[in-house]
Structure 1
Amino acid sequence: MMRRAPDRGSMSMEMALVTPLFVVFLMLLAGAGRLVDAQSQVDGAARDAVRSASIARSPEGAVRLAQQAADANLNGRDWCAGGPVVVTDTSQWGPGGRVSVTISCDVDLGDLAFIGLPATKTLRGRALAPIDTFSYRGGDTGEDAQ
């Protein structure tokens, strides 16, 4: 008669060792996916905000329209702790000039901190656009293009 090899239970031992590594790998993928999605949304908000700022009729209006566009884009995003921080640079305002918008957002990763990810990660999106020469009126008229 043939004897069985002494490897009984080796499959259970392999599963006990590999399963936690597999779960950690899946959690890292989830964290990376969340960061990629959040970065995409921050970049899109910056793009929309700079477009809104570029059609404003004054530097003050550009700042206001950029903030409104960023808030509208990122409204209800609970991953953006404290809301977006919008910085609008109108130092080159005028015909042929340009405007830039930088949006910063702190992404909450607290639920994934146990696998080594930081509790929060600051993401930044920046966009640059030329001033729309057809809506530029020079100076502050008190009204903004909508």
Structure 2
Amino acid sequence: MNARPDSGERGSMSMEMVLVTPLFVIFLMLLAAGGRMVDAQSQVDGAARDAVRAASIARSAGGAEQLAQEAATANLNGHDWCASGPTVVTDTSRWGPGGRVAVTITCDVDLADLSFIGLPGSKSLSGRALAPIDTFTYRGGDAG
């Protein structure tokens, strides 16, 4: 008996691989982009929490803004995905004993290396955190 494969089946496995491999690679790149976005959002949220905690123990509204900026910058320092550095907005409009402070951090995540699969060059992420002003460390005034 001659067990020759049918000539119509010849090369079908190669053709399947040629068609499926690009789709699989694109899927892996989308997973990488999703992972980068989740990690970056987590880092931005963590920086916002650290910044608002630093601001909440400041002795003045001006000091709170400065401490929030320093904490956010230190927290995100060394992360090359934050293209232009973090933008920190500190809301001290309710500054005072029993008041609160809010910090919003915005960072543009660089996705340029994944743009060949149709993703934009960057995506803006924001993290916001609120904290009460510690009534025992509040000293009043606006001196930093």
- Asked whether the two chains share a fold, i.e. TM above 0.5, the reply is yes
- Taking only the aligned residue pairs, the percentage that are identical comes to 77
Match of 2:95 among 84, 93, 96: 93
Per-residue displacement from partner, 1:33-62 (whole Å, max 9, x unpaired)? 001000000000000000000000100000
The one-letter amino acid of 1:4's match is: P
TM-score, with normalisation over the residues of structure 1? 0.94
C-alpha deviation, 1:76, in angstroms: 1.1
The 5 Å alignment of 1:33-44 reads: 33-44=35-46
Partner of 1:27: 29
How far 1:86 sits from its partner (Å)? 0.1
**Root mean square deviation, CA, Å:** 1.1
Cα distance in structure 1, aligned partners of 2:48 and 2:139:
24
Q: Secondary structure at the match of 1:103?
A: strand
Hey, what does 1:69 align to over in structure 2? 71
Secondary structure at 1:61 match in 2: helix
Q: 1:100 and 1:27 mapped to 2: Cα distance? A: 36
Q: Which runs of 5+ in 2 are unaligned?
A: none
SS at match of 1:43: helix
- Could you tell me which residue of structure 1 aligns to residue 115 of structure 2? 113
4+ residue runs of structure 1 moved beyond 6 angstroms? none
Q: Distance in 1 between matches of 2:77 and 2:5?
A: 65
Report SS of the residue matched to 2:135. coil
Which residue in the other structure is 2:131 paired with?
A: 129
- Aligned equivalent of 2:86, options 80, 84, 87: 84
Count of paired positions: 142
- 1:4 pairs with 2:1: no
Determine if the alignment matches structure 1 residue 56 to structure 2 residue 94.
no
Whole-Å Cα distance in 2 between the matches of residues 61 and 86 of structure 1?
14
Structure 1: stretches of 5+ with no match in the other structure: none
CA distance in 2, matches of 1:133, 1:52: 15
In the alignment, which of 17, 20, 45 is matched to residue 18 of structure 1?
20
Q: Distance in 2 between matches of 1:25 and 1:92?
A: 47
Deviations 1:79-135 (A, max 9, x none): 111110000000000111000000000010001011011100000000000001110
Partners of 2:12 and 2:84 in 1: CA distance? 50
